[in-house]
Structure 1
Amino acid sequence: QAGAGPAGGPGPAAPGAERFLISARLEREVREIDDPDERRAFLAAAGIDAPGLARLNAAAYDRLGLMSFYTVGPDEVRAWTIRRGALAPEAAGRIHSDLARGFIRVEVIKYDDLLAAGSEKGVKDQGRAHLRGKDYAMEDGDICHFLFSV
């Protein structure tokens, strides 16, 4: 509750709550840095590992039991939010109910594998793309191609 503490500062936090101090000036300065290495150096000099809004978002997802998976097409990369522990058909249903209803399987690529290989083709050439069925528990950061028939 803002203004409840000494000198109008924040009051005591609820048990188990996390606090985030986010500097609007620092967030603006970080956003203005285009080079990723420069941005990391700037954050390190400020004594933080990620911008405040990114830390707040990650904490909110964690508290709410959420995670993201991705779909990739020729024109769009999209993140989808699902509950932690969701099975593949439930994730497919976040995209469209027909995908859940006609779910056959999902091709899963791990984000780190994609970064290491440099492309989807590279991941597949290395045998690191996996086909999973209805009982596959989605993992945070999965890159998915859903196969379905309606």
Structure 2
Amino acid sequence: MADTPIVEAQMLIRKPVKEVFRAFIDPAVTSKFWFTKSSGPLELGKTVKWEWEMYGVSTNVLTNKIVQDKLISTEWGEPATIVDYEFTPLTDDTTYVVIKNYGFNLSGDDLIKALIDNTGGFTTVLDGLKAYLEHNVQLNLIADKFPHITQK
């Protein structure tokens, strides 16, 4: 992993690690701040389909590793890359979340574009997570990111 570019986004969430971890596993929660629909929860060795209905796009997500309340490792995208979600409890009521995206099979301008897009995308996901878990507010950040291409 050291020789490949790594996208990294991070955020302190003022909720217990169990609740923050569940927010990424359980699509009933994740759909409040990220995708609009999922074929099921993240489970080790299983592939689920995530959909962003407003854009008419979807992706298959394979879960490669789950360490309860610590790590979720997935593989998804075109071309596929690894996305790790790391959870560190700082206190009983605060969790530091780091999302790392790596394994890019791109070069030059395509790689630079993917790094910029994914950094911004995962930062937006964490911003939405924070608003939803801490304040019970759905900011619709993902839907509002590209309003000019939203499906009607």
Structures share fold, TM-score greater than 0.5: no
If each structure's strand is expressed as a fraction of its own residues, which one has the higher value? 2
Q: Which has the higher contact order (CA 8 A, sep 6+)?
A: 2
- Higher Rg of the two aligned structures: 1
Q: TM-score, normalised by structure 2?
A: 0.21
